[in-house]
A = this chain, B = another copy of it.
Amino acid sequence: MVEKIYQTTSRDAVTGARTGLLTLPHGPVETPVFMPVGTAGTVKAMTAPDIHRIGFRLLLGNTYHLYLRPGVEVLSRFGGLHAFSRWNHNILTDSGGFQIFSLSHMRKITEDGVTFQSHIDGSRHALTPERVVDIQVTIGSDIQMALDVCTGPDIDHAAARAALETTSEWAIRAKRQWTTHRETYRGILFPIVQGNFYHDLRKESVERTVSLDLPGIAIGGLSVGEPFDKFVETLARTMEHIPAELPRYVMGIGTPEYILAAIEHGVDMFDCVFPTRAGRNGLLFTTKGRINLKNARWALDTGVPDPEIDSFGGERYSLGYLHHLFKSGEILGSMLASRHNLAFLHHLVFLSRNAIREGSFSSFKERFLEGYGSGTTRA
């Protein structure tokens, strides 16, 4: 039995929501936790100190991107991604499975592993579950993922079963490889549940994944284009089978509706590029709905994006100024909007944790989404 990294600290009375504490190589992290995504060794348009100042202590890096650029030689030379990117807190890396599925060309899966062409320069690459563990060891991930086979929302039961089989076999090999590193490497390995949207396969995948006796579990293959209700239903049916003592990570969710639904069903960790990507496009999340900064209605507005949120580390930038920055194509617009959206999500999970502790998560969720208007864009 590998060591425990997670402890539940409180449970909501009505829903599956819970708070907890992750004990990781680069310090403790309270859950539920939203992880900003630093695809290529930086959260886009943000400095590491600013991310820290918002309150984040756990970032996500993409193994696929980091493997292609800067590459293993550079990461090895610098002693890993923490030192390279000057982020001295925790890093979780995904397995690359999702990006190989969604970004690369000519993906070909064999029993041994996967071959694909880089989306950057078309170069050919072959990865195995063992190699993906080694890459994440070089990155220095505090939490790493086993290579999985990600599938789209519309495949049949047989194809979903085949992907599940391969994912399960690869997780066994990943664990074996990870075990060989444990004397010198403190990072944790999570296997990934697949099974597409078939409940019997999800159940089987959870059981086979849990039987690996690893310290956490990731739920993959969700938020891949399916309707919200299907996401929630599949998540709920999957979560039923996962033991309470494991921390649960759902990949690729980053809007308030999805995050609150995930928390409600007992998810502890989530990540998404959407907050920063939306920010770069001038879209702000606020407790009163979304704001499209490019809209002329904000030009003369002296108010801040959201009085409930410290969007800019104590600075008071107005909607009028932000509008001007986007109209003028200024980089500072992307910087400030990214920062606001991350501060918004940090605030959302902070309030969620408090509501769970007070046993009032359901009413908090309802109230929050009422204010947010399920994402209505104010302009």
Contacts and interface: CB of A to CB of B under 8 A. Distances in A.
A45 B44 CA distance: 13
Contacts of A332: 42, 44-47
Copies of this chain held together in the complex = 2
Contacts of A282: none
Contact of A86 (B48, B74, B316): B316
Given A70-B299, A315-B47, A315-B48, A320 B77 contact: yes
A352 to B, nearest CB: 29
Given A321-B84, A331-B44, A315 B49 contact: yes
A78 B318 contact: yes
Query: Contact residue range for chain A?
Result: 35 or more
A329 B53 CA distance: 25
A69 B331 CA distance: 16
A299 B72 CA distance: 12
Contacts of A48: 315
A325 interface: yes
Contact of A320 (B42, B49, B78): B78
B327 A69 contact: yes
A302 interface: yes
Interface of A: 40-42, 44-49, 69-70, 73-74, 77-78, 84-86, 299-300, 302, 313, 315-318, 320-321, 324-325, 327-328, 330-332, 334-336
Closest 8 CB pairs of A and B: A45-B331, A70-B324, A42-B332, A40-B328, A77-B300, A42-B330, A84-B321, A69-B328
Given A41-B324, A41-B328, A86-B316, 9 more contacts: A40-B328, A42-B325, A44-B331, A69-B324, A69-B327, A70-B324, A74-B300, A77-B300, A331-B334
